[in-house]
Amino acid sequence: MIDQKIIENFPGLIVRKDLTKTLKGNAIVPSYVLEYLLGQYCATDDVESIESGIETVKGILAKHYVNRNEAGLIKSTIKEKGRHKVIDKVSVDLNEKSGVYEASFSNLGIKKVQTDSDYIKQHPKLLVGGVWSIVDVEYELVDDPKASPWTIDSLKPIQVSHADLDEFKAARTNFTTEEWIDALIQSIGFNPEMLGRRQKLLQLVRLVPFCERNFNYIELGPKGTGKSHIFSEFSPHGMIVSGGEVTAAKLFVNNSGKTTIGLVGFWDSVAFDEFAGKDKRVDKNLVDIMKNYMANKSFSRGVDMMSAEASMSFLGNTRKSVAYMLKHSHFFDDLPDKYIDAAFLDRIHFYNPGWESSIIRSELFTDGFGFIVDYLAEILKKLRNFDESHAYSKYFKLDNEISTRDRDGIHKTFSGLMKIIYPHGECTKEEAAEILSFAVEGRKRVKDHLMRIDSTFNPVEFCYHDLEGGTKIEVKTLEEIRHPNLIGQSKEPEEGKESEAPKEETLAAAPSKAETPQPELESGKHVTIPENATGISFEGLFADYLKGATEITVHDPYIRLFWQLKNMMEFLEMVHQLVPEGDQVEVKLVTKSDMEKCVEQDEALQKMEETFTGSKVTFSYEYDNANAFHARSISTDTGWKITLDRGLDIFQRHDMSPFSLAGKVQEERQCKAFEVTYLKNGG
């Protein structure tokens, strides 16, 4: 089990992830603050120790965390006791007139607390954005009415002290790639069983700004997909700001009075939340400075040039569907107009399609173990010193036509994912191909939509070559596969040139009747559906092959759990819609009885039998537990056999409430990766 493996390999550096959510309550603090405390007292799988540790942490929060509503009570406690330890976000400013540093406490509400300069030397981020800390605050009434009675006796930023990179790399070798990815997914709070492989990569690429210097990342998508979660909760080395509030002085350098470097000089990652929105005011000068920084890692300070290493991430909501944007505009359409600047957008290394990420629901969260996020954040910070850009070069070579800027984007994403998933530096050819293709896709999405904005950009074939066999691997985005007619890049085979695989199709959706003529039903046809595809339905996949049949048999050993039974019901509904009035079709299900849920399974299947009694469909089922069958198929008395590697279980988990569009319309659901083969009479 993955939990036990994490515990064995990272003792004292892990925490049960549901505890963070349990403790959060009214404490509006980042997850890394809570997990820092949980790591001190609950880094174990012993139930009694966890329960005891939770009570200890609750006591610490109750006694020392400053809730804004209780700030007056805490200040009174400090005054009466003379000293009290608090957990709060502390920021420091230099009082230029008096030459002293003065601290402000975010929740406690006290300001101009004189601060020893040694704290600033040790923790310079106190000057920019502030740091969550455990602070001993003292109160002593002074004669000078202008002087603050508050003083800081000790200040300790909340962070994990032990993060040995060599130990981390060595422990990684004890995990398979799948196990390691699942451990990382649990560490950021999600249940890996609820996500497909591509969904996991879409989550992990959000970590790249923390382990890759000067990585420029954008994620646009619907509300509620957790775009800002990692950037606001995950690391003490990242800062998230509102996209509409940032200024050039705050971000880069303030030249008024004493020159002060901005956020990019102190943080590994600066993320701009709520970056989209046509109504946002944008300083054109800021856009120009950002363009230069994103391209050259530098910006001006008066007549001098300064450099920094902060990655830039842009997060925003889209209002239109993918198909609408493809047909009428581009994927940057929701950005403020001043940011729809080809030179600015061309600096982006990776476009994460936020519409592919699941809407955050309670069942997505894990109750398993993962790294204390602050520990993982420290490891990622140390990995910034390494470059894995060319780790694929022993297997593959990027096409020569890919430009230097495109190549840089691909290399940075590949390097980041390589350090996250394979920090020990070992991956197979297939594993390297997976993250290389993913990196190419993210940069291709940027370039495809730049060409829609600016016609001076030339089309590029994003592909790479297998050094061993010389094969060219062309990379396409998922939306390009799903909507080739809207992309405008679907190509007919060259005259006289035979397709390499005439029977094979890779589709993101079966064509709808409204879009295409009825297909010729060709035996031997094979369809591959990529993960996260939408627009798929049982009708689109099966209807043409079931028409005219009077007997249909479904072989699927896994019609057991609620959503699998729901899929079976929807299949029967689809068949019912196909049958002409006055005709009758018999549908038989051959499945296996679930040993643990056999009662619920049998009750559901019996209910289906009863529901269709007297309708155009007669449904029956039988259990075949004697034979060890795993193959899943649909066969008809007209000679068709449709084999499915996943059976009817092709959809990812989705909201099944009566008010969910995906719950009602199959085409709105994201799919798992699966394959379908259509054969007739053994053809």
Complete domains list, the chain, with CATH: 68-157 (2.40.50), 504-680 (3.30.870.30)
pLDDT exceeds 70 at position 499? no
pLDDT tens readout for residues 76-123: 999 999 999 999 999 999 888 888 999 999 999 999 999 999 998 888
- Length reported for the chain: 683
Helices (H) and strands (E) in the chain, counts: 24, 27
Is it the case that residue 256 has pLDDT exceeding 70? no
Q: Give the model confidence (pLDDT) of 272-294 as tens digits.
A: 999 998 888 888 889 999 999 99
DSSP helix/strand/coil, 528: strand
Q: At what angle do helices 177-187 and 197-204 cross, to 10 degrees?
A: 50
156-160, 360-364, 574-578, 579-583, range with greatest mean pLDDT: 574-578
Structure tokens at 610: 């009863």
User: pLDDT band at residue 517, thresholds of 50, 70 and 90?
Assistant: very low
pTM: 0.78
User: Does the pLDDT at position 511 exceed 90?
Assistant: no
Q: Name the H helices within 10-70.
A: 18-24, 31-41, 47-64
pLDDT at 134 over 60: yes
12-31 per-position pLDDT tens digit: 888 999 888 778 765 677 88
Report the C-alpha gap between 19 and 251 in whole angstroms: 35
Nearest to 465 by CA among 494, 436, 425, 502: 436
CA distance to 42, 289, 548, per residue, from 49 (Å): 7, 52, 64
Contact 249, 225 (CB under 8 A): no
* Residues 560-577 as b or e (16 or more Cβ within 10 Å = b): beeebbbbbbbbbebbee
What would the pLDDT profile of 410-439 be if each residue is shown by its tens digit?
999 999 999 999 999 999 999 999 999 999
Amino acid at 93: D
Position 469 scores a pLDDT of 86
Q: What is the pLDDT of residue 321?
A: 84
How far is 153 from 139, CA to CA, in rounded Å?
10
pLDDT tens, position by position, 526-551: 999 999 999 999 999 999 999 999 99
Query: Looking at the predicted structure, is the pLDDT value of residue 488 above 90?
Result: no
Query: Residue 161 above 70 pLDDT?
Result: no
pLDDT digits (tens, 9 = 90+) for 355-404: 998 888 888 899 999 999 889 999 999 999 999 999 999 999 999 999 99
- State which amino acid sits at residue 211: C
Using alpha carbons, select from 189, 208, 214 the residue that is nearest to residue 20. Answer: 189
In this predicted structure, the answer to whether residue 497 has a pLDDT above a threshold of 90 is no
CA distance 476 to 338: 29
- DSSP structural state of residue 190: B
- Range in 37-41, 209-213, 340-344, 372-376 with the lowest mean pLDDT: 37-41
pLDDT value of residue 259: 56
- As a whole number, mean pLDDT of residues 326-334 equals 92
Band of residue 495 on the pLDDT scale cut at 50, 70, 90: very low
pLDDT over threshold 80, residue 212? yes
